[in-house]
């Protein structure tokens, strides 16, 4: 796929003003907020905190427009390394998919907000000491350096995970079962080079080709489907998982888990076990003690080489960034369905499958520049992935302290970052020397997504990841308040390693 990249820089599109976005899953994809260029700005100051009183009773606030030169106050989660970092080096053995600024003048707030939802606004309280731009740049680089995976740790972890996954794959391919034809597909943050802190989480996809399937949309999000066979040949092993004419995700995942548990018992040279099943999860999770614990998610995926579903027609908006030809070629690749069930009342609809484009996301992250040479040895270094890592880390650390943030995940950060990259497509807008302002601008963008309750799925435009049906307003307000405090105080949470 490397030769798909466009060599010429895309023209910078005129940035529309941010609009109030709908909160429904079918929200207008054009209503994404815009944070402006990542170039250095003069004197951007934080707006006083707007969250006052108990968040559970706070009336709905209107959307706030983001204007150049004025910063909105609030954001977080991450992993990429700074120029010349070891992260830019390919992982040792690419087999299992490892699960894987603010302006110097911004005023600070000295007192941390309360951990409870009713934390008061910090506006008007004593400000934290100002930090010079150089000092702040130095701090960000120190954080990125600590987040960078260590070569020796990568080598040990990858070797152990490869050995376990290879054993699983070989045994599945040899035994007579419905999964005899599975193949491995490397996805996840480790192979995207955005894994942070430690190589202790891996995602490994076991794909199974299923020709001639028909998809029936389950709800109006465009993400969940019933899978049916257009024609079921006699002897089709997957016919065991049919409920009527629908391929049951729950039944198929249950059998997949059963086989993995049997194979794991055969492994004697590594301390590995199968974790308990998590409701709604599409993965079978292995726990390896090496002696440090490593979590490996084995994800079953159906591979379809047909045309992408109609709901994705307006998705993947990379034309002005990576180019129309690259987009066309990517859409000719297979798409995948994972046994992630749609929510149904207080439970899940066990027959449903969810679309997955993790393989395409991996390509985008590895080929992220408008110029083909971006971040290559002889090319100019950008800070796109560094900003992604910092924000992932911010969210990760906040989630450790506040259970109210459980609904959020790193995929929200990655999706918002993809949209930001399409709005700021030029490599010069992400110059590594401007990581301070680039990081701050992305935080403002992410904050506006939270405030407007609108984060459009990058591949499925009518699927709003921040809809009320998926994440309640109180949780989004709470994250806004925590990001506001961190941003105003130069991210004290970054010092908690």
Beta bridge partners of 285: 297
Instruction: Return the H-helix or E-strand segment holding 181.
Output: none
Q: Distance between CA atoms of 75 and 395, rounded to whole angstroms?
A: 8
Q: Which of 333, 353, 331, 332 is CA-nearest to residue 342?
A: 353
Q: Which residue has the tokens 């047909």?
A: 306
The residues that bridge with 214 in the sheet, in sequence order, are 228
- 409, with CB counted inside 10 A (0-12, 13-18, 19+), is middle
Cα distance between the two ends of the chain: 38
Residues 449, 3: Cα–Cα separation, whole Å: 34
Distance CA 119, CA 52 (A): 7
User: Residue with structure tokens 């192979």?
Assistant: 191
Looking at residue 101, its pLDDT comes to: 40
- pLDDT score for 67: 40
* Distance separating alpha carbons of residues 484 and 458, to the nearest angstrom: 26
Three-class SS state of 350: coil
Main-chain phi, psi angles of 36, to 5 degrees: 90, 180
Nearest CA to 107 out of 52, 44, 39, 65 is that of 44
pLDDT along the chain (497 residues), means of 10: 45 43 43 47 40 39 41 39 39 41 37 37 43 72 80 74 90 86 74 58 90 90 93 76 92 94 91 89 89 88 94 96 96 94 79 93 91 86 93 92 93 96 95 92 95 97 95 95 91 82
Give the number of other CB atoms < 10 A from CB of residue 493. Answer: 18
Domain 2-495 has CATH 3.30.460.90: yes
The token pair at 362 is: 């991996």
Measured CA to CA, the distance from residue 151 to residue 452 in angstroms comes to 41
Whether 370 and 427 have beta carbons less than 8 Å apart is answered as yes
Sign of CA dihedral 420, 445, 147, 132: positive
CA-to-CA separations, 402 to 115, 390, 393, 479, in angstroms, rounded:
7, 18, 14, 9
Contact 184, 204 (CB under 8 A): yes
Nearest CA among 133, 110, 127 for reference residue 492: 110
Give the pLDDT score at 193.
52
Quick one: tokens of 299?
Answer: 């994800």
Among candidates 449, 420, 279, which has minimal Cα distance to 347? 279
Give the SS3 label for residue 476: helix
Q: Who's near 269: CB < 8 A, 6+ residues apart?
A: 163
283 neighbors 299 (Cβ within 8 angstroms): yes
Burial code of 283-295, b = ≥16 C-beta within 10 A, e = fewer? Answer: bbbbebebeeebb
* pLDDT score recorded for residue 300: 94
SS (H, E, C) 12-56: CCCCCCCCCCCCCCCCCHHHCCCCCCCCCCCCCCECCCCCCCCHH
Q: Which parts of 179-282 are beta strand (E)?
A: 183-186, 201-209, 213-217, 224-229, 242-243, 246-247, 271-274
pLDDT at 148: 78
CB atoms within 10 A of CB 53: 12
DSSP bridge partners of 349 = 342
Chain-centroid distance, C-alpha 253:
23
Of 322, 364, 336, residue with least CA distance to 193: 364
CB-based contact 449:34 (threshold 8 Å): no
Is 243 within 8 Å of 336 (Cβ atoms)? no
pLDDT of residue 35: 47
Residue 282, φ and ψ in degrees, nearest 5:
-90, 5
**pLDDT value of residue 94:** 43
């Amino acid at each position: 796929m490397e030769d798909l990249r466009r060599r010429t820089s895309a023209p910078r599109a005129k940035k529309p003003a941010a609009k109030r976005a709908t909160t429904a899953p079918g929200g207008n994809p054009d209503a994404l907020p815009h944070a402006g260029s990542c170039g250095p700005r003069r004197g951007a100051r934080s707006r006083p905190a707007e969250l006052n009183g108990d968040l559970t009773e706070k009336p709905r606030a209107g959307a706030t427009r983001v204007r150049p030169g004025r910063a909105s106050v609030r954001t977080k989660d991450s992993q990429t390394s700074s120029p010349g970092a070891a992260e830019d080096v390919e992982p040792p053995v690419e087999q299992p998919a490892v699960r894987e600024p603010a302006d110097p003048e911004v005023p600070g707030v000295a007192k941390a907000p309360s951990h409870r939802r009713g934390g008061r606004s910090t506006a008007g309280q004593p400000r934290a000491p100002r930090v010079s731009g150089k000092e702040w740049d130095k701090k960000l680089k120190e954080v990125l350096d600590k987040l960078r995976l260590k070569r020796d740790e990568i080598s040990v972890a990858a070797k152990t995970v490869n050995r376990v996954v290879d054993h699983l794959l070989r045994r599945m391919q040899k035994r007579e079962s419905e999964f005899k034809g599975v193949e491995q597909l490397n996805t996840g943050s480790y192979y995207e080079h955005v894994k942070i802190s430690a190589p202790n989480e891996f995602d490994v996809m076991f794909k199974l080709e299923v020709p001639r399937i028909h998809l029936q949309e389950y709800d109006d999000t465009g993400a969940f489907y019933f899978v049916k066979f257009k024609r079921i040949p006699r002897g089709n092993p997957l016919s065991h998982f049919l409920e009527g004419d629908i391929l049951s995700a729950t039944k198929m995942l249950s059998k997949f888990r059963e086989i993995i548990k049997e194979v794991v018992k055969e492994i004697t040279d590594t301390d590995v076990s199968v974790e308990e099943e998590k409701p709604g999860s599409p993965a079978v999770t292995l726990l390896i003690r090496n002696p440090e614990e490593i979590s490996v998610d084995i994800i079953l995926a159906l591979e379809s080489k047909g045309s992408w579903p109609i709901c994705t027609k307006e998705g993947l908006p990379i034309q002005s960034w990576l180019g129309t030809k690259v987009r066309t070629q990517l859409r000719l690749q297979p798409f995948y369905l994972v046994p992630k069930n749609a929510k149904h009342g207080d439970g899940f609809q066990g027959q449903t499958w969810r679309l997955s484009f993790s393989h395409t996301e991996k390509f985008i992250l590895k080929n992220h520049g408008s110029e083909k040479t971006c971040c290559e040895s002889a090319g100019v270094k950008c800070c796109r992935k560094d900003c992604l890592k910092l924000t992932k880390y911010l969210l990760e650390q906040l989630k450790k302290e506040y259970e109210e943030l459980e609904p959020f995940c790193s995929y929200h950060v990655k999706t918002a970052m993809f949209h930001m990259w399409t709005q700021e497509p030029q490599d010069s807008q992400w110059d590594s020397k401007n990581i301070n302002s680039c990081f701050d601008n992305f935080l403002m963008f992410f904050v506006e997504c939270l405030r407007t309750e609108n984060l459009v799925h990058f591949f499925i435009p009518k699927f709003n990841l921040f809809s009320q049906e998926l994440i309640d307003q109180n949780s989004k307000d709470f994250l806004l308040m925590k990001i506001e405090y961190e941003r105003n105080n130069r991210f004290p949470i970054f010092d908690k390693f």
